[in-house]
Copies of this chain bind each other. A is one copy, B any other.
Amino acid sequence: MGLTKTEKFTEQQNEIATIAKVLGHPARIAILDFLIKLDSCVCGDLVKDIGLAQPTISQHLKELKKVGIIKGKIEGTSVCYCIDQEKWKAITKTLNNFLNKNTTNTCC
């Protein structure tokens, strides 16, 4: 069916999955890597650096914006994209909350 049954899961489970899903594409990781390296950036640079077509990059940026991990500020003809520090911290916290839930068990 291709349709995730979100109603079967807790809000937290859905939240973790949504974040992870957005991070689940190497182009988006590459974009974030690039943004981290710089202080700001325009889409044009990304197209050159990452090597995917401009509409594809634009689409990935949209996904990243959807979870708020990046934000864009229009500056004339170009757009300055950068990491949303607050959101990045929140996402880090959410993922670590989950990752740290696991304690050493003795089974298997």
Contacts and interface: CB of A to CB of B under 8 A. Distances in A.
A52 to B, nearest CB: 7
Contacts of A55: none
A14 B39 contact: no
A13 B26 contact: yes
B29 A13 contact: yes
Contact of A25 (B21, B51, B103): B21
A85 B91 CA distance: 23
A26 B37 CA distance: 31
Interface of A: 4-6, 8-10, 13-14, 16-18, 20-30, 32-33, 36, 39-40, 50-52, 71, 73, 80, 82-83, 85, 88, 91-92, 95-96, 98-108
